[in-house]
Amino acid sequence: MTPPRTEAQETRARSRSHYAERRMEDALPGELSLNEPGPLVRPYGDTTGDGMVQVSFTLPLPHDKRAEGAALQLAAKMGMEPALLVHAKAMGPHFTFFVVYGSVSHLVDVREVEVMEREFELLSARDTNAAIRKHLRRKLVVVGACIGTDAHTVGIDAILNIKGFAGEKGLEYYRELTVHNLGAQVLIPDLVNTARELKADAVLVSQVVTQKDAHIHNTTAMSAAFREAFPAGEVPHLIVGGPRFEEGSAGALGVDRIFGRGTTPGEVASYLVHALVDPATRHQSPETRKKGRA
């Protein structure tokens, strides 16, 4: 049985009360509790339901009264009513920067929020290394290449080179990964042989050039060559990356996974752990996850 609120708690609750559905830090049975947010919420400034947000933006207008009015008009169209223009500054003769505070009229229904999940968990470099060390107990060997006539190593280098991409270090940076980047225009038989010699766990192939579907042809030829050269069940994990592959076409291309535009090295490393090292990192299904959060 929850004890009744003290006088101090009661006063505090009343002083901040708002017509919106106020949630209590110390809810009595039947009252809404802060511990169970939603389903309808508004932004929170300092009072439940106040809807306060701050935005900053630049308009391509010289700084004058008209520009300030334009900023408030934009704020109103964004649902900020009333809006308070707290800062306006000319940035050169043609632009003005604004900071606006205001209450938004919109409500958010958390029941309608859909969470898209990748099938594996994103791991830090440290966790990736730890998982490989713990479960594989040897280095995971990765071989990467651009095949066919494709000379664009941008993609494979972004994933493999220590310099990395989007602020993330490439796979070479991972202590428990042994990375062999074969570079551009690697012939498929050479790739197969190298993968065999190095006992590759995974082969990463990048395909940027898509003229006449070159990326499709190269990829299917590559996967067929691997399946021919290795006994079933011993084919290295085949991964292909590039900006123009269709999601969900991995099966048709004969590869295990496709990565698209904007993929970062950390995602690839996490996927390798998921696919080759530690199946325990498999995510909960989106359903259970949503419930777990709600």
Partner 1 sequence: MRRARSLARKAGQPVVELARSHTTVSVERATLRLAGLTGADHENVPWVNHLVDAVRDSVGLEHGVCLPAWDALQRGEAPDLLTLAQKASAGAVSFRIPEKGARTRAARSARSAVAGGIRTIDRQRATRDKLIGKHGDPKQKPWIYLIVATGDIYEDIPQAQEAAREGADIIAVIRSTGQSLLDFVPEGATREGYAGTYATQENFRLMRAALDQSSKELGRYIRLTNYASGLCMPEIATLAGLERLDMMLNDSMYGILFRDINPIRTFVDQRFSRQIHARAGIIINTGEDNYLTTADAIEAAHTVTVSQLLNEYFAKEAGLADWQLGLGHAFEIDPNVKDSFRLELAHALLARQLFPQAPLKWMPPTKHMTGDIFRGYLLDGFFNLVGAMTGQGILLVGMMTEAVVTPWLSDRDLALQNVRYVMNAAGGLTEDFAPPSNGLIQTRARQVLSEAVDLLDEIVTDTSGRGSAYPQPLLSAIADGTFGAMKRPPTKGKGLDGVVRKADDYDNPAVTLLEEGGTR
Q: Which is nearer to partner 1, 48 or 264 (CB)?
A: 264
For partner 1, which stretch binds (CB under 8 A), given 1-9, 155-163, 199-207, 211-219?
155-163
Closer by beta carbon to partner 1, 60 or else 292: 60
**Stretches 42-50, 64-72, 146-154, 279-287: which one binds partner 1 (CB under 8 A)?**
146-154
Catalytic residue among 65, 89, 134, 163: 163
Interface stretch with partner 1, choices 156-164, 199-207, 219-227, 228-236 (CB under 8 A)? 156-164
278 counts as binding partner 1 under rule CB under 8 A: no
Binding-residue total with partner 1 (CB under 8 A): 24
Q: Which stretch binds partner 1 (CB under 8 A): 139-147, 160-168, 234-242, 281-289?
A: 160-168
Please, which residue, 153 or 223, has the CB nearer to partner 1? Answer: 153
What x-and-dash track marks residues 84-123 binding partner 1 by CB under 8 A? -----x-xx--x-x--------------------------
Binding of partner 1 by 290 (CB under 8 A): no
Residue 232 backbone phi and psi in degrees, to 5: -55, 140
In the residue annotation, 163 being an active-site residue is answered as: yes
DSSP output for the chain = -PPPPPHHHHHHHHHT--SS-PPBTTPPTTS-BTTS--SEE---SSSTT--EEEEEEEESS-SSHHHHHHHHHHHHHTTEEEEEEEEEEEETTTEEEEEEEEEE---EEGGG------SB----HHHHHHHIIIII-SPEEEEEEEBTT----HHHHHHHSTT-BTTB--GGG-TTEEEEE--SSB-HHHHHHHHHHTT-SEEEEE----GGGHHHHHHHHHHHHHHHHS-TT-SPEEEEE-TTPPTT-HHHHT-SEEE-TT--HHHHHHHHIIIII-GGGBPPPHHHHHHHH-
Q: Which one, 184 or 192, has the nearer CB to partner 1?
A: 184
Closer residue to partner 1 (CB): 165 or 226: 165
d(CA 131, CA 123): 10
Q: Which of residues 170-209 bind partner 1 (CB under 8 A)?
A: 172-173, 175, 181, 183
Active-site amino acid positions: 163
The contact set with partner 1 (CB under 8 A) reads 56-58, 89, 91-92, 95, 97, 152-154, 157-158, 161-163, 165, 167, 169, 172-173, 175, 181, 183
